[in-house]
Every structure is written in C-alpha cells, then in structure tokens.
A = this chain, B = another copy of it.
Amino acid sequence: MKIGTQAQEVADILIRDITSGDLPEGSRVSEPELSRRYGIGRGPLREAILRLEGMGLVVRAPHVGARVVTLSQSELVEIFAVREALEGMAARLAAKNMSDHELQELEALLDSHATYIKENKGQVYFDQQGDYDFHYRIIKGSHNQRLVRSLCDELYHLIQMYRKSSESSKRPEQALFEHQMILKALKDRDADLAEMLMRRHIGKARREIEQFIEASSA
C-alpha cells in the first residue's frame, strides 16, 4: 500500500468531495473543522487547501479563510473558452502524435458508446462519463504533458463541478456523431480538421451557456 503524505491524501479527498457536490459551491472550508473530521493537524490540511487553491477549486482571502469556488455563468463561459483553445490544440497534436494502438482503443470506446446509446436511450450519467473518457484520451494522445496537466488536473475538476450546466448530454446521438467525426480526422492524421472539429464541438457547449445567460438576463 503506497501511501503518500497526509496532505496529498486529504487533498484528493477534498477534490472528490467538491467535484461530487458533497462540499457544495460557496461552502466554507474551515481548517479546525476539517482538521477534526480527518484527524490530522492543521499543517497538512493547509497544504491541501493550498493545492486546491492552485487548481482554482477554492478561493482564499487573507485572515478570512477558504471557500469552495462559486462560478458565475460568465466565468463558466471563460473556462470553456480556455478549454476550447487547449483541447483544440490537443486534438491538433493528437493527430500527429497518437499511436495506432491509441487510435484503435479510441475507436473501440466509441463503438461501445454507439451500442450503449442504441440499447439504452439517453442514459445521462454514462454519456457524461463516456464523453469525459473520449476527451481524456485525446488529451493524453497529444503527448504534451503540460496540456494534460492543465486540462485533466485543473480545468476538468471545475467543469465536473458544474456538469449540471453541461447541456450537451441532452443529445447523446449528436455528441457521438461529432466524436466519430473527430476520430476520423485523427485517423486521417488531419491536424487542421481535428482541431477545427474539436473547437466546434466544445464551442457548441459554450454557446449553450451563453444563450442561457442571455435568456435569464432578458
């Protein structure tokens, strides 16, 4: 049983608790309380909170403390703009760098999605998890470690917090088709097309949020 430091363990626990909604947005992250709950000192706990702050999962104010981040819808749009840029580049690099084996695995993943959607129309959770798997593999396929870290270790936690705002799951067939088109571009090693398709795919989700803002502000 490989055990890291207490700080790393509690940081992972906190990430799970926040992304799962157990610690809801805006709730206080109190050092004494969590210290008692997890039975550790405040030192490692502070270290964990510091790491979460670096990921943008919590915001800290001096002498006031930490709260789970609360993203406005416009801030969510900002995140999707960053995601569009980074994942577009990931797709571009993946078209060059993904191995044939990685491409085969990606194809198998999409095949399983296709059969699942046919059998079980509109199961939301699976689609969200499946969508994540697809994007995750392409990011890894870029073979750019910094891209992987920025997206998987930072942005995706935030997006997962607000997955209720991600409306793309309403049309799983449409999303699947877009995924298949991206896969085709990757197999053709067409970097330009892969980037463009990925950006449109993500931009669609962004525009849905933007429209929602306009609708609610009108």
A interface, CB within 8 angstroms of B = 4-5, 8, 43, 46-47, 50-51, 53-56, 62, 75, 78-79, 81-82, 84-86, 88-89, 93, 144-147, 150
Contact = CB atoms under 8 A, between A and B. Distances in A.
Contacts of A84: 89
A45 B156 CA distance: 29
Contacts of A78: 144-147
A82 B150 CA distance: 9
> Which 10 A/B pairs are nearest by Cβ-Cβ distance?
A54-B54, A85-B89, A50-B50, A85-B85, A78-B146, A78-B144, A82-B146, A5-B62, A85-B86, A81-B144
* Assembly stoichiometry (copies): 2
Contacts of A51: 50, 54
Contact of A82 (B56, B81, B144): B144
A150 B150 contact: yes
A146 to B, nearest CB: 5
